[in-house]
Amino acid sequence: MKYDVQETEIRWQKEWAKAKVFETEANSNKPKFYCLEMFPYPSGNMHMGHVRNYSIGDSMARFQRLMGKNVLYPMGYDSFGMPAENAAKKEQGHPHYVTHRNIASIRADQERMGYSYDWRRSLTTSDVEYYRWNQEIFLMLNEKGLVERRYAPVNWCNDCDTVLANEQVKNNRCWRCGLEVIQKDMAQWFLRMTDYSDELLDELDNISFPENVKSMQRNWIGRSQGANIDFTVFNSDSKISVFTTRPDTIFGTTFVTLSPEHHLCEELCKNTEWEKGWRKLHDECSKLSEFERINMLKDKKGVFLGKYAVNPLSKEKIPIYAGNFVVASYGTGAVMAVPGHDQRDFDFAKKYDLPIKQVLSNELNDDNDGDIKSAFEGYGAMINSYTDKFDGLYGEDAKNAIISELENIQSGEGAVQYRLKDWLLSRQRFWGTPIPMIHCKSCGVVPVPKSSLPVMLPLDVIFREDQSGNPLDNHKDFINVNCPICGNKAKRETDTMDTFYDSSWYFMRYCDSNNANSPFDKETVDYWMKGGIDLYIGGIEHAVMHLLYARFFTKIIRDADMISVGEPFGRLVCQGMLNSPTPFCSKCNVDYHIDFFDCNCPTCGELLGQRSAKMSKSLGNTISPGQMVDIYGADTVRLFILFGANPEAGMDWSDSVLEANHRQLKSIIEALSSALLMPKSSSKMDNWIIAKLRKNQEKWKKVMSDVSLREGVMLSHFTMLSDWNWYRRRGGNNYEIAIEFLKTWLPMLSPITPHLAEEFWYRMGQEGYLAKFELPENVIPNNDNIILSYETLLRNVIDSSRNVKGLAERHVDSEITTLTIQTSPKWKYDLAREAITLQSKGFDFRSKGTEYLKSLPIFKNEQIRGEIFQTWTILTIGTKKKRGKIFTWAEDDKNLITNMNNESEFLSSNINFISKELGLDFVTIYSVGEGEDVAGKARLAFPLEPGIAFT
RNA sequence: GCUGGGAUACCCGAGUGGUCAAAGGGGCCGGACUUAAGCUCCGGUGGCAAAGCCUUCGUGGGUUCAAAUCCCACUCCCAGCACCA
């Protein structure tokens, strides 16, 4: 039967859409499965990374439908953001139209892949139907006090008159005009994410994220336990508060270092000889990007500020410095420097010749009272304290003692610091959700009343290349508004929201996408989100930002009583990189554009080799999914991508593997087609194939439930086919069995290659769509394993015969025509069964085995006594290298031995097949002793391992 | 430097104590079919004197009757964080 890939795939895609087979509603009578993929930015066409992401998701969605789950599988577009503005500028248009054009194109690509989304739920964040809820939620957060407006430094380009994102700053210069970027303090909107630091961190222990993601989030939140300690400034009312994780080293403090931006710096050195030095350091630091600053910091610099601080416990007077290595935004922006026990402070002290004091004993290295070469950063017993009561204290005890002393004298307290900062929400850009606030001269900053929402982005804006800044700033209709409180003329806020805000709750909106009255209905979202999203698939690049924002958002939504769960994602799978061959110079360690294949290295001149590198536009090593689908069809591309590697692993693109996968599908199609044309002729293989079918299916269900897709594909697309081929090779040819087989095989094929599965479901004459089919529960009959074991025995005998034949051919001069198989004599079977029974009772063969053997009636047979003894040993004890057979036989082998009536009879019933497989004229099979002992192989015969001789 | 993850045959990749010379795929080799294949099917793919023996799962040690698998040390690779007090 003909199978036209393109025609068939497109036909079924249309059929599925027409019949609305993927549309779902909440249904409390059915277990749910929420399968979600990371929100795509619609940048034009779908790329291979998307294909991988969605092929994983779609196959899991389809699998869970088969398993009887009510599956929510939505798709939508995260469409706000800079790229659309830039594209609009290029074509002198509006981001809205650019966005919608791109969405249409990516959606067409997705549909062509056959992804089973419920398209009714699709949403686009740049549409007012979505972003109006952003605004409503924002107002709610504002009421709850989670919104803050405060000044913060931003990257600013004077030429372009705009704020730059970190990634738009290259070498501290604007990516567009090349002017040096400065840090500018601007009023910004923040969400108080730090209120949730502890919950965000602690909950990580309970969610099933991959370890690397958890570790990244822990790093990012960066909680550290310590103390805030107040140092007073000598002869002044000012205080310097420092944060330290090592209060136990307080007596080793020999100076205090402030970040150059610290508000006290100016106050301390103003109008003194020290001011100039500080200003210089301050200016140097403030114009550096964070990246440069970290690089520059290798060179530690500091200036004395001319004043002294007083250690609250020892009352020592110590100098105050400003240092470029102290980060203003971490802790209090001030450090108590303990050069004896902190390497960084040690280096600084050496450079500026400041005293170094040891206040912890270093047991490992106690004898060096002379020159100290480095700081001792470990824990040690306190020494040299200014009062006896601390000496000898160690580690946590020491820290706690210092903290409580500080609390007693009100000069400090235990404190926790986080690296995590509040979420800077505002962007000085056009293409984002307008922040619903109004600036009124008399009333201040006031929220837009809920009834006046949404604040819509104007569509009558033309973007031009030469434009800079935010067009909203100059849009009179947008900006001019009356104050909702006093009614006087006021201005709208023109900042828009970070797009991570959009993607922090889109998965909740999917549950109730078309709700026109609220973001979503609580009952509905609770049904779908219970226990979190069951499977969330996406790239590792969102490990920190998106996944953390979304977790935070879910918690504030929960605290607003709009949802019941506090963690949005149940299981998270981060798909691996997609690589493809790229020219590479191993000497220079550089990847080159694919144009350089087989060329010499432009740098060192050596011939370039190749290696796998991440698919990227700059290397040109991308593969266009559309092109591949045009050649091979969606099913082949899906099979390649899912079989190529497990979801988490990286994978390499390979044309030859893709073609091989295409051939595999052709073989499957051929097998399916011919199965439908079989006559109704039953054979002894019918039971075998059905038993194998059940076994494969059980295994398949298990591995697929674990998202072990590669293993799943191996079973559904490789093992099942080769089993079916074996069935046919062994004479299986029964239409009724074929139908029974296909009724399970086609569903197994459908998650990965849905079109071909659906097509044959149809050709087979099944009612309804396979896409909606639910696999019935299987009952596995007990004797399945025995049926399979018999066949395994036959295959093993043929395999070893084949090996032995090769040997025989080398040793025998004449042509080989005859195979003689001597199966194990009955007494060996009897002994084997005896041993198996004893083993199941926990018999100790080492101490009592021989004695037991001697008590058996068979042992009286003196002629074969030696062989009996040997057999017993092989069975129960084994040799130096091998354990006894009863320990190495699998359960199935043991069952077979126990149940085997007559091995030679079984093999004889397959004599024609054996001779055909081995290309022989004569095959003789008998039990040892019932015929001539050809080539003395009788002794080798063992249960399941007959003696084999060729002549 | 810290944290997390790795290293398995020509390549990709499964494999958490014995049934492991190690699944599956690619590649390669051989055979069958065919006028002919780059199609399809079957077989082989560490070594050897071959129903066996020897060597091999990053390197070196150890535990065990038994190690790819457990423990220790080291090397290298990937990722994240980083003068974070």
Q: How far apart are CA A184 and CA A869, in angstroms?
A: 92
Q: CA A269 → C1' B54, Å? A: 81
Q: CA A879 → C1' B66, Å? A: 12
3-state DSSP of A836-904: HHHHHCCCCHHHHHHHHHHHCHHHHCHHHHHHHHHHHHHHHCECCCCECHHHHCCHHHHHHHHHCCCHH
Q: What angle do CA A400, A401, A402 make, to 5 degrees?
A: 90
Q: CA A243 → C1' B83, Å? A: 15
A 757-816 residues, CB < 7 A, strand B: 799-800, 802-804, 806-807, 810-811
Q: CA A945 → C1' B53, Å? A: 19
Q: Cβ contacts of residue A621 below 8 Å, gap of 6+?
A: A580, A581, A582, A594, A613, A615
Nucleotide closest to A945 measured between CA and C1': B51
- Residue A165 is predicted with a pLDDT of 61
Residues A406 and A247: beta-carbon distance below 8 Å? yes
pLDDT band for position A783 (cuts 50, 70, 90)? confident
Question: What residue has its CA nearest to the C1' of B18?
Answer: A888
* Residue A167 contacts strand B, CB under 7 A: no
Burial class (CB in 10 A: 0-12, 13-18, 19+), A491: middle
Mean local confidence (pLDDT), A881-886: 78
* Residue A651 contacts strand B, CB under 7 A: yes
Measured over the CA atoms of residue A251, residue A255, residue A258 and residue A264, the dihedral's sign is: positive
CA distances from A873 to A842, A848, A870, A879, A927 (A): 17, 12, 5, 8, 22
* Per-residue pLDDT reduced to its tens digit, A817-855: 889 999 999 999 999 999 998 888 878 887 888 888 888
User: Where does A417-532 have alpha helices with state H?
Assistant: 476-479, 499-502, 506-509, 522-529
Q: Is the pLDDT of residue A745 over 90?
A: yes
A 417-446 residues, CB < 7 A, strand B: 417, 419
Q: How far apart are CA A324 and CA A300, in angstroms?
A: 7
Q: How many helices (H) and strands (E) does chain A have?
A: 33, 32
Q: How far apart are CA A442 and CA A713, in angstroms?
A: 67
A 866-885 residues, CB < 7 A, strand B: 879-881, 883
* Residue A937 contacts strand B, CB under 7 A: yes
Q: What percent of chain A has pLDDT above 90?
A: 51
Q: How far apart are CA A465 and CA A395, in angstroms?
A: 61
* Per-residue pLDDT reduced to its tens digit, A906-940: 999 999 999 988 888 889 999 999 999 988 888 88
Outline where DSSP puts E strands in A527-574.
535-538, 572-574
- Which amino acid appears at position A527 of this protein? Y
* Residue A326 contacts strand B, CB under 7 A: yes
* Residue A650 contacts strand B, CB under 7 A: yes
Q: CA A758 → C1' B17, Å? A: 45
- Which amino acid appears at position A105 of this protein? S
Q: CA A90 → C1' B71, Å? A: 63
SS3 content of chain A, % helix, strand, coil (to 5): 45, 20, 35
Q: CA A495 → C1' B5, Å? A: 41
Q: Cβ contacts of residue A263 below 8 Å, gap of 6+?
A: none
Note the residue count of chain A: 951
Residues A423 and A498: beta-carbon distance below 8 Å? yes
- Residue A367 is predicted with a pLDDT of 47
Mean local confidence (pLDDT), A397-426: 90
A 891-920 residues, CB < 7 A, strand B: 893
Question: Residue holding tokens 């609220």?
Answer: A518
Within 10 Å of residue A706's Cβ, how many Cβ atoms?
A: 11
- Backbone phi, psi, residue A582, to 5°: -145, 140
Mean local confidence (pLDDT), A178-197: 84
Q: What percent of chain A has pLDDT above 70?
A: 94
Please tell me whether residue A104 adopts helix, strand or coil conformation: helix
* Residue A226 contacts strand B, CB under 7 A: yes
Mean local confidence (pLDDT), A810-818: 79
Q: Is the pLDDT of residue A98 over 70?
A: yes
* Residue A321 contacts strand B, CB under 7 A: no
* Higher-pLDDT residue of A578, A928: A928
A 196-215 residues, CB < 7 A, strand B: 211-212, 215
* Per-residue pLDDT reduced to its tens digit, A113-148: 999 999 999 999 999 999 999 999 999 999 999 999
Nucleotide closest to A893 measured between CA and C1': B19
| Tokens linked to A629 | 């689908």
Edge-to-edge strand order for the sheet containing A572-574?
A70-72, A32-37, A535-538, A572-574
| Tokens linked to A109 | 């690509």
Mean local confidence (pLDDT), A250-258: 92
Q: What is the DSSP string of A154-218?
A: EEEETTTTEEE-GGGEETTEETTT-PBPEEEEEEEEEE-GGGGHHHHHHGGGGSB--HHHHHHHH
Q: How far apart are CA A886 and CA A888, in angstroms?
A: 6
| Tokens linked to A8 | 């068939």
Q: CA A81 → C1' B71, Å? A: 53
ipTM score = 0.92
Q: CA A806 → C1' B42, Å? A: 16
Q: How far apart are CA A681 and CA A687, in angstroms?
A: 13
Instruction: Single out the residue of A774, A717, A754 nearest to residue A58, CA to CA.
Output: A754
Angle between the N-to-C axes of helices A826-840 and A865-876, in degrees from 0 to 180, rounded to the nearest 10: 40
* Per-residue pLDDT reduced to its tens digit, A205-227: 888 888 889 988 998 898 988 89
* Per-residue pLDDT reduced to its tens digit, A492-520: 999 999 999 999 999 999 999 999 999 99
Q: CA A666 → C1' B27, Å? A: 20
* Residue A589 contacts strand B, CB under 7 A: no
Q: CA A880 → C1' B56, Å? A: 20
Q: How far apart are CA A632 and CA A662, in angstroms?
A: 7
Please tell me which of A267-281, A572-586, A714-728 the model is most confident about, judged by mean pLDDT: A714-728
Q: CA A609 → C1' B41, Å? A: 37
CA distances from A316 to A231, A308, A403 (A): 10, 10, 18
- Residue A588 is predicted with a pLDDT of 65
Q: How far apart are CA A597 and CA A592, in angstroms?
A: 8
* Residue A949 contacts strand B, CB under 7 A: yes
Q: Is the pLDDT of residue A291 over 60?
A: no
Please tell me whether residue A584 adopts helix, strand or coil conformation: strand
Please tell me whether residue A950 adopts helix, strand or coil conformation: strand
DSSP code at position A467: -
Q: Is the pLDDT of residue A400 over 70?
A: yes
pLDDT band for position A904 (cuts 50, 70, 90)? very high
Residues A907 and A849: beta-carbon distance below 8 Å? no
* Per-residue pLDDT reduced to its tens digit, A3-44: 899 999 999 999 999 999 999 999 999 999 999 999 999 988
Mean local confidence (pLDDT), A733-742: 94
| Tokens linked to A913 | 């097949």
Q: Is A279 left (phi over 0), alpha (psi -120 to 50) or beta?
A: alpha
Q: How far apart are CA A872 and CA A895, in angstroms?
A: 19
| Tokens linked to A429 | 């850009």
- Residue A296 is predicted with a pLDDT of 60
Q: Label the pairing between strands A173-174 and A182-191.
A: unpaired
Q: What angle do CA A379, A385, A387 make, to 5 degrees?
A: 135
User: Where does A706-844 have alpha helices with state H?
Assistant: 709-713, 720-729, 735-749, 754-763, 784-811, 826-840
* Residue A711 contacts strand B, CB under 7 A: yes
- Residue A370 is predicted with a pLDDT of 52
Q: How far apart are CA A643 and CA A719, in angstroms?
A: 13
Q: What is the mean pLDDT of chain A?
A: 88
A 385-424 residues, CB < 7 A, strand B: 417, 419
Q: How far apart are CA A190 and CA A149, in angstroms?
A: 6
Q: Is the pLDDT of residue A287 over 70?
A: no
Q: How far apart are CA A306 and CA A299, in angstroms?
A: 22
A 723-752 residues, CB < 7 A, strand B: 725, 729
Q: CA A655 → C1' B38, Å? A: 14
- Residue A117 is predicted with a pLDDT of 98
Q: CA A480 → C1' B68, Å? A: 72
Q: CA A301 → C1' B22, Å? A: 58
Mean local confidence (pLDDT), A643-647: 85
* Residue A295 contacts strand B, CB under 7 A: no
Q: CA A653 → C1' B37, Å? A: 27
Residues A568 and A533: beta-carbon distance below 8 Å? yes
- Residue A170 is predicted with a pLDDT of 60
Q: CA A294 → C1' B5, Å? A: 26
- Torsion (CA) A122, A123, A129, A132 in degrees, nearest 10: 140
* Per-residue pLDDT reduced to its tens digit, A353-392: 898 888 888 765 544 445 567 788 888 888 888 877 888 8
Q: On chain B, which bases lie within 7 A of the protein's CB atoms?
A: 3-5, 12-14, 18-19, 23-27, 39-44, 50-51, 53-54, 65, 79-85
Q: CA A590 → C1' B15, Å? A: 34
Model confidence, pTM: 0.91
